[in-house]
């Protein structure tokens, strides 16, 4: 499988190529520049890997939650490439990808993931990482006021994501003794989208290009770009 992965749901814009492992990647924190960056990133990666675009056999993208414009961009680019090549798509949770990055970089296995959703709310998810490195969601992803996010009943958890920077007192006060450290600058990366997308596709969970739609938790619906 030769897979292209994209993630543009937050301030970070990234792309990666994956074939049994991540081959190469590009990552840049550049708010409001994703539309200008993502296609050149893809071309640079293909050249670096020595792949032609037609050799791609799948596309994975961060389906949100996150910035409305950013999630929509990744979905639109994914649809365009996947339609053109007639290849399947993996829709990967941006929050899940952040949990995987936190595990990869901090060896943390219990994660409270929060992205600043503006309007004094956060996009929220809780995840455990098992011994095999699988990311397991512990609750339904949601958008919520920081002081009302659903928390696990017990355990030691690490908080990651921009929500922890924007609403430090509210989230830390709500989490209380469950919380053991934070990385409030952590953003999602296409490297993790690639790995998680590859796992989905191996399980037969890929979707057709027209189903490459973003998730907007605020409306609790998936909306096709158009």
Annotate 56-81 with b (16+ C-beta within 10 A) or e (fewer). bebbbbbbbbbbeebbbbbbbbbbeb
Which pTM value belongs to this model? 0.95
Angle between helices 190-202 and 94-106 (to 10 degrees): 110
Q: Convert the pLDDT of each residue in 149-199 to its tens digit.
A: 999 999 999 999 999 999 999 999 999 999 999 999 999 999 999 999 999
Question: Tell me, what's the pLDDT at 222?
Answer: 45
CATH superfamily, domain 3-93+188-222, is ATPase, nucleotide binding domain (3.30.420.40)
Whether the pLDDT of residue 42 is over 90: the answer is yes
pLDDT tier, 216 (very low <50, low <70, confident <90, very high otherwise): confident
The residues near 39 (Cβ < 8 Å, ≥ 6 apart) are 77
| 94-183 shares the fold of 3-93+188-222 | yes
CATH (residue range 94-183)? 3.30.420.40
């Amino acid at each position: 499988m030769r897979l292209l992965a994209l993630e543009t749901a937050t301030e970070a814009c990234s792309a990666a190529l994956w074939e049994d492992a991540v081959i190469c990647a590009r990552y840049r924190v550049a708010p409001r520049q994703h539309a200008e960056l993502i296609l050149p990133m893809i071309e640079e990666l293909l050249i670096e890997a020595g792949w032609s675009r037609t050799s791609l056999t799948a596309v994975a993208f961060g389906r949100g939650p996150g910035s409305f414009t950013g999630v929509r961009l990744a979905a639109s680019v994914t649809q365009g490439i996947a339609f053109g090549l007639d290849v399947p798509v993996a829709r990967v949770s941006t929050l899940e990808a952040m949990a995987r990055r936190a595990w990869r970089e901090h060896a943390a296995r219990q994660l409270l993931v929060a992205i600043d959703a503006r309007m004094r709310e956060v996009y929220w998810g809780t995840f455990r990482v098992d011994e095999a490195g699988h990311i397991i969601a512990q609750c339904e992803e949601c958008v919520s006021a920081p002081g009302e996010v659903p928390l696990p009943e017990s355990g030691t958890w690490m908080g990651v994501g921009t929500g922890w920077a924007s609403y430090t007192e509210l989230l830390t006060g709500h989490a209380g003794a469950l919380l053991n450290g934070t990385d409030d600058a952590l953003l999602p990366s296409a490297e993790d989208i690639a790995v998680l997308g590859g796992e989905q596709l191996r399980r037969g969970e890929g979707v057709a290009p027209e189903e490459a739609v973003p998730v907007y938790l605020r409306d609790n619906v998936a909306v096709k770009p158009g």
